[in-house]
Structure 1
């Protein structure tokens, strides 16, 4: 990777390894990101149902913001005029922004894909917009994110090999244009995105192209898009090792707790997913014993906490009966408390994995993780 003047400001260090799993730290001007790291998703400059201070209290070192949503509303230019995304949303820690490409493909209305970029209609009001490597880099510059993602295209799986191959090579050409448009921005990092579906040779071709361009970190894109966990893990058995060992590896859009454990086991350093907050808003809680549905009547008379070993406010101060009641009543506090719990659980999981890797005990951690989940939720009272 070519030498950069800002390496003293942004850097990555692997502190310990256990098999392919590794723990380390990404240093940025706004703080250190402990890895493996889970990034809560702040789609529209907020993690739904949470105050920024509360998100930090769960243990999060970094948030993810969505370029597509923010460029449409309130607009990247407006956020820039108001002091940047950190000030706008009152979050002084690192922020990673995605490129907007995935949302264009999945949310936008009529769209036209060309070598130049994507022309699309907003899902909000039907207004016409253009995203390209250059405009994505400009929008992310205006937002002021610490980690910027290349603009790429991500086809849904399953897809035929020719479609995946063409898409991957287009994304690699866009990666070079993203690198050129990003320029020299001390204190900020640019991540390339590996594509290639589930095909090992296409993933290697993509990784080779990205290595030749040179990035501060490397994402594994195009997974968790319909292929299933077994296929995803099959790809992760080789994809992370195709990327540089001395740079962070980010698996985009993952996932459930067992997805995350499996990804870390295979050498992934960073992940993000809307699942903790989305589940919280629908009465679903993630615990060490698996998923709990607070809508179920079995909780209506239960004075016990959701998880007696959890220190989040939902478990420390409220009973299952109360959480069931406010969920059934449609009260706002239900989603707030369950989102807090879920994010706390996810960050606790990451911390346990970091400690296990540092101690050379990841296999023991993994065995305990699956044994607790196999026990299932506590018996009904």
Structure 2
């Protein structure tokens, strides 16, 4: 079984491509829904396939706690256990190093957690992370890393990225399956000198793909964009580039312009569960009273089930009544919104018209003018 990546079209830094995995071929750039507990909250596999989902993410830390990697392996890995037969990607547990900061202690050996379910101590090491991911059986697995918070002191960032590189060596040594592609993760925060160091050192391992980690953790967009631009300049042209944890529509448009191929984030489904719908202009708060009598679809330009069959008034009623269907419909729509955005981006790159696509997106998003950080991204990409 092979893992291959090919670039099919380019416009300046932006590119379209194709990922070949043991469980199917997928186009890039693409957005990947997050299924923390081996499920994208509230949505079925059929619904995910119908809206154009390609790769689903699972969470190593959470699946280690329950149902346990051995049980998943015995039931056919994530593909057999969940019934999602298309590609899976599993993270390493590194994000929990940051998000569960109050429950963990970092050492050279790994990260000691206090299990958030029952308080038991867990020592997550590179070897254990890879072992869990091999049992889960995802097509793409991630090296164990430390994701530092923002802001962080420079000395902390430097020590963190150096530890992440040592953990990458250990992750590679622990890997035994040849049907899984292991991606390394570059760190360094928004310190461009450290980001350069981490990216070059990570790329020297000659891996099937690379992730840009440690961004979208609270830093301003003005600092994130230069870090992404530098990263895509330094990473190999013939390998996929994965910007971790990024899912706001404007960030995807900017990231694609800068040469990113893969994105993931809980944003579209979490936003849906809070009663918000993603639209070209931003977000609609469908719990607001102004939509109680609105017969229009959530988004007249959207082809998802929710927009084709239900009105804003009905979804407003469901959300205000606390009915789970309303939150499911919004999650479905929000994911389809991002998938459509990526489909349109791929088509624009193939036609050599991504600059026009980005201008039209910005005009809808910000009628009074795009923010400086978005202009910066487009200029760095050679689009504007």
Matched, 1:178 2:186: no
Deviation, structure 1 residue 358: 0.7
Q: What is the aligned residue count?
A: 368
Moved segments of 4+, more than 4 Å: none
Matched, 1:320 2:312: yes
- Give 2:139's match in structure 1, choosing from 135, 139, 146: 146
Name the SS for the 2:145 alignment partner: coil
2:180 corresponds in structure 1 to 188
Name the SS for the 1:215 alignment partner: coil
TM-score of the superposed pair, with normalisation by structure 2: 0.93
- Give 1:131's match in structure 2, choosing from 103, 124, 128: 124
Match runs of 1:354-365 below 5 Å: 354-365=346-357
Deviation, structure 1 residue 169: 0.3
- Give 1:224's match in structure 2, choosing from 216, 220, 228: 216
- Give 2:153's match in structure 1, choosing from 139, 157, 160: 160
- Give 2:59's match in structure 1, choosing from 16, 41, 66: 66
Aligned residues of 2:186 and 2:195 also touching (Cα < 8 A): yes
Deviation, structure 1 residue 375: 5.1
2:363 corresponds in structure 1 to 371
Which blocks of at least 5 consecutive residues in structure 1 are unaligned? 1-5, 377-381
Name the SS for the 1:238 alignment partner: helix
Name the SS for the 1:213 alignment partner: coil
CA distance in 2, matches of 1:103, 1:113: 11
CA distance in 1, matches of 2:192, 2:223: 12
Which blocks of at least 5 consecutive residues in structure 2 are unaligned? 369-384
- Give 2:335's match in structure 1, choosing from 319, 335, 343: 343
Match runs of 1:202-221 below 5 Å: 202-221=194-213
Deviation, structure 1 residue 304: 1.1
Q: Deviation string for 1:49-68 (max 9, x for gaps)?
A: 10011011111110111111
Q: Deviation string for 1:74-126 (max 9, x for gaps)?
A: 11111111111111111000000000121143136532211111111111111
Matched, 1:57 2:50: yes
2:378 corresponds in structure 1 to none
Aligned residues of 1:62 and 1:94 also touching (Cα < 8 A): yes
TM-score of the superposed pair, with normalisation by structure 1: 0.94
Q: Deviation string for 1:137-179 (max 9, x for gaps)?
A: 0000000010000000011011111110000000001011111
Aligned residues of 1:38 and 1:272 also touching (Cα < 8 A): yes
Match runs of 1:1-381 below 5 Å: 9-107=2-100, 110-183=103-176, 185-374=177-366
Deviation, structure 1 residue 324: 0.4
Deviation, structure 1 residue 204: 2.0
